[in-house]
Structure 1
């Protein structure tokens, strides 16, 4: 993955980025809509240290967009009460569908870890419950940009 060129002094370290992505509850996924117009939607996700896993409704505009063009930009951020509390990550790349769509629970080795992480993050269950409406998308970021304005020097 190419190194972040701008704002390197504000960038998160690898460990900071992993912790940040594991702790945040919601991301915003920007897909390419009809006619090239951007479409942005909020979504729950999990980070496994290498890929961002999105559990998307298969009958959504986001899913329709991604089946037409898998390129996305995903923002995960927090803060904003004051300038120095702004932190975030933008991940860009192409998503890939993993497992059946919609997901019904057929064994898929690649989904064991993301489904465990998802169940632990969003419920008190140890296993994900399948509703026949969602499916998995995996984003292995091609580009990653992060910022943590608490690292900004004071003059």
Structure 2
């Protein structure tokens, strides 16, 4: 078995890693072809990465023009502890802004009661839109498997 295969996560490990993480690096494509890279809090929706953003944000404009994305979720400071998942996919705008906003708010602020989060989500959600990422390719690594 080659080293690449040794460090790849199983589907169950990928699902658990995505569920336990909170932030990702989201890359969209600017009009001139350069990458637009931002950190986003995210949630999971039926096994897919979901995020929300302001309707007038650069990433929204980019996705309206070209829905291809890359999502990087990673952790670890030392080489032997590096773990990550890179999801290539297509972002689809969905009519679930408040639901996805609530899931993201829960992940951002664990332990805060829903009734407190709902006011924030409903207020800021008026100017936001939500997306889910339909994966086209998933790459993973867990360097802890090297020892």
Q: TM-score range by the shorter chain?
A: 0.7 to 0.9
- Normalising by structure 1, what TM-score? 0.79
Q: Which one has a larger percent strand, Structure 1 or Structure 2?
A: 2
Residue 43 of structure 2: which of 41, 46, 49 is its match?
46
**Within 2, Cα distance between the matches of 1:48 and 1:151?**
29
Q: 1:125: which partner in 2? A: 113
**Within 2, Cα distance between the matches of 1:84 and 1:48?**
31
**Within 2, Cα distance between the matches of 1:121 and 1:40?**
21
Q: 1:93, 1:141 within 8 Å by CA — same for their partners in 2? A: yes
Cα gap change, 1:86/1:49 in structure 2, threshold over 3 Å: closer, same or farther? farther
Residue 150 of structure 1: which of 122, 144, 147 is its match?
144
Q: 1:86, 1:149 within 8 Å by CA — same for their partners in 2? A: yes
- Tell me the SS of whatever aligns to 2:107: helix
Cα gap change, 1:52/1:12 in structure 2, threshold over 3 Å: closer, same or farther? same
Q: How many residues align?
A: 138
**Within 2, Cα distance between the matches of 1:66 and 1:60?**
10
Q: 1:35: which partner in 2? A: 32
Q: Which one has a larger percent helix, Structure 1 or Structure 2?
A: 2
Q: 2:130: which partner in 1? A: 136
Equivalent positions of 1:51-66 (< 5 A) are 51-66=48-63
Q: 1:70: which partner in 2? A: 67
**Within 1, Cα distance between the matches of 2:20 and 2:76?**
13
Which ranges of structure 2 fall in alignment gaps of 5 or more residues? Answer: none
**Within 2, Cα distance between the matches of 1:58 and 1:143?**
27
Shift of 1:49: 5.2
Per-residue CA deviation, residues 89-124 of structure 1 (Å, 9 max, x unaligned), is 000111000017xx5x5xxxxx4xx45533431231
Which ranges of structure 1 fall in alignment gaps of 5 or more residues? Answer: 106-110
Residue 18 of structure 2: which of 13, 18, 21 is its match?
21
- Normalising by structure 2, what TM-score? 0.83
- Does 1:96 find its partner at 2:92? yes
